[in-house]
A and B are shown apart, each in its own frame.
Chain A
Amino acid sequence: GQNIDQPTEMTATEGAIVQINCTYQTSGFNGLFWYQQHAGEAPTFLSYNVLDGLEEKGRFSSFLSRSKGYSYLLLKELQMKDSASYLCAVRANTNAGKSTFGDGTTLTVKP
């Protein structure tokens, strides 16, 4: 099975940088994804890591360490619209490749 942990809530200031951590335990690993979800909406894809290291995409970066079962999502130059829930998801190493989601981190960006 899979066990995914991430902080429940975080608060940051507009223009700042915030790091959202995710730790996981899995019997079979085939990639880690970060999604953003605004209230009442479906999740949208942010980033994907399958190898160790940092993936950068604009204001968002994601890091993975497979040996530590650890990832983080880094958001730079925070904007008010970044207030949302951020979901860490781990894909299983099976034919179906189903993903298990963490409980999400609710980020509140304040002026």
Chain B
Amino acid sequence: GAVVSQHPSRVICKSGTSVKIECRSLDFQATTMFWYRQFPKQSLMLMATSNEGSKATYEQGVEKDKFLINHASLTLSTLTVTSAHPEDSSFYICSARDIFGNSPLHFGNGTRLTVT
């Protein structure tokens, strides 16, 4: 089945530093990937839609200059949390869908970010 690889799985960083999270589709091409954030005991909140070869589409309230998204190829999207602060500590999950219209989202295993 379709597999999405996300890493790192856990990262601890100091306040003010930047963290890059990678999301790869391993056995299918994904023109679109989605980045979600999930706080404890809450649902997944869509942050942005990552489009291969073009700019990402950000959801309302998500700062595009803080959460940089690059989707340079059909199998790789990256999310960079710039100048991280403790309030950015969360579970970040990427997902991708193959080119067939009604296929479900395949999720990466998530990245637990802790900013100290």
**Chain A residues engaging chain B, CB cutoff 8 angstroms:** 30-31, 33, 40-45, 48, 50, 87, 89, 96-104
Contacts and interface: CB of A to CB of B under 8 A. Distances in A.
Contact of B34 (A41, A45, A98, A103): A98
Nearest to B2: A45
Contacts, number: 50
A96 B49 contact: yes
A33 B105 contact: yes
19 contacts: A41-B110, A42-B108, A42-B109, A42-B110, A43-B44, A43-B93, A43-B107, A45-B104, A45-B106, A87-B43, A89-B105, A96-B32, A96-B51, A97-B101, A98-B46, A99-B34, A99-B46, A100-B46, A102-B43
Interface of B: 6, 32, 34, 36, 42-46, 49, 51, 57, 91, 93, 97, 101-102, 104-110, 112
A4 to B, nearest CB: 9
Nearest to B4: A42
A45 B112 CA distance: 21
Contacts of B57: 96
Contacts of A100: 46
Contacts of A45: 104-106
Contacts of B45: 101
A50 B100 CA distance: 14
Given A96-B32, A103-B42, 7 more contacts: A42-B108, A43-B93, A48-B104, A97-B97, A101-B36, A101-B44, A101-B46
